[in-house]
Amino acid sequence: MQSLNLAETRRVLVLGTGELGKSVLESLAALPAMKVSVLVRPVYESSHDKEKVDLVEWLKKLGIEIIYGDAADDSTETLARQFSQFDTLVSCLGFAAGPGIQVKLTEAALQSSLVRYIPWQFGVDYDAIGYGSPQPLFDEQLDVRQMLRAQSRLQWQLISTGMFTSFLFEPALGVVDIENSTVRALGDWETTVTVTTPEDIGRLTARIVAEPVGEPIIFCAGDTVTYGQLADTVENLVGRTMRREQWSVPYLKAELANNPNDAMRKYRAVFAEGAGVAWEKEHTYNVAHGIQTSTIAQWAQQHLQACCLQR
């Protein structure tokens, strides 16, 4: 198995320029002895669309090299050749990239001459959840883990961070409903959930990349709370009592059975079951290394509209 020489310039390729990808790119670009590149779709190369132009300019200002390719459309062999130009691959392409992408990227990484691979496993503990969960896309994440464990050439690390902190406040999820003064528990009020902001994930990922390869699975957390504690936190922030509504596992599974293709209902059912979606913050990588991360209260104080908070 090859090993990385930390004294030399490291060549890192990042996949994805969404919220998480941008945070990882920004943090990696700030590190010394790190040459950072990003794979973007060819349409960005000559686009006059303002959003695409702004992204390219932002990447250039950070000193990030842009290479063009398409993780969805390019063949596994083509991706493997591109990956082989680098030491480390960090994928920030999540489920939105489509089914099969996680396995395809892993196959390409295994075919390449990469030394280290950090796949998109930012989220829950898929091992603890297991196959056959209410969210079928999680099964592909387990397939990726099996592929990596079955070989010894490519070094790999999985960074588990829980859900994005902002997702708890996503109206479509229905957990924190500020407008209707309601907080809902997925499962029950003692069910726990771990969350981390994309900004913190970016900082932690960059630090992990800069270190020698250590534990294959790393747990991080911005905060870990019960839904009861979440309700208390929201009440303290908004300065009023919130109506509390419990969505039990049987209720959510019945809702999913009636709407089997509804992605949000799948997530609700998984998180309500409670397995693999939370871990104690005091036992995480960030706490062990003295790295401060944003709590739910800190995130909410900064991001919720002023009109929603107590004055």
Co-location of 150 and 264 in the same domain: no
* Same domain? 90 vs 181: no
| Residue 183: count of CB within 10 angstroms of its CB | 24
- Tell whether the model's pLDDT for residue 115 goes beyond 70: yes
Q: CA 298: distance to chain centroid?
A: 19
Give a yes or no: residue 111 inside a domain. yes
Q: What is the pLDDT of residue 26?
A: 97
Answer whether residue 124 is part of any domain.
yes
Residues 303 and 212 grouped into a single domain: no
Task: Categorize the per-residue pLDDT at 303 as very low, low, confident or very high, splitting at 50, 70 and 90.
Answer: confident
The model's pLDDT over 43-101, given as tens digits with 9 standing for 90+, comes to 888 878 899 899 999 999 999 999 999 999 999 999 999 999 999 999 999 988 888 99
Same domain, 108 and 171: no
Please, what sign has the CA dihedral across residues 123, 282, 169, 231?
A: positive
In a domain, 3, yes or no: no
SS3 state at 88: strand
Ranges 90-94, 285-289, 301-305: which has the least confidence: 301-305
User: What is the domain extent for residue 274?
Assistant: 164-194+223-308
CATH code, 39: 3.40.50.720
Q: Indicate if 210 and 127 belong to the same structural domain.
A: yes
Same domain membership, residue 236 and residue 134: no
Burial 268-300, CB ≥16 within 10 A → b, else e: bbbbbbbebbbbebeebbbbeeeeebbbbbebb
pLDDT at 7: 47
Number of domains composing the chain? 2
Same domain, 137 and 188: no
The answer to pTM > 0.85 is yes
Does residue 189 belong to any structural domain of this protein? yes
Considering the domain architecture, whether residues 238 and 155 belong to the same structural domain is answered as no
pLDDT of residue 132: 95
Task: Tell me, yes or no, whether 201 and 270 share the same domain.
Answer: no
Question: Is it the case that residue 109 has pLDDT exceeding 90?
Answer: yes
Asked whether residue 5 is domain-assigned, the answer is no
Length of the chain: 311
Pair 154, 179 in one domain = no
Assigned domain for 102 exists = yes
> 174 and 281, same structural domain?
yes
With respect to residue 4, please indicate whether it lies within any of the assigned structural domains. Answer: no
The neighbouring-strand residues paired with 65 are 37
- Give residue 307's pLDDT: 43
Percent of the chain clearing pLDDT 90 (strictly above): 86
pLDDT at 306: 47
Looking at 70-197, list the stretches that DSSP marks H as alpha helix, in order from N- to C-terminal side. 76-83, 101-111, 126-129, 137-149
Whole-angstrom Cα distance, residue 201 to residue 160?
A: 9
> For residue 12, what pLDDT band results from cuts at 50, 70 and 90?
very high
Q: Tens digit of pLDDT for each residue in 187-227?
A: 999 999 999 999 999 999 999 999 999 999 999 999 999 99
Residue 3, pLDDT score? 55
| Backbone φ and ψ of 37, nearest 5° | -125, 160
Same domain, 150 and 294: no
Asked, for residue 246, whether it belongs to a domain, the answer is yes
User: What is the C-alpha separation between 252 and 2, in angstroms, rounded?
Assistant: 47
- pLDDT at position 282 is 97
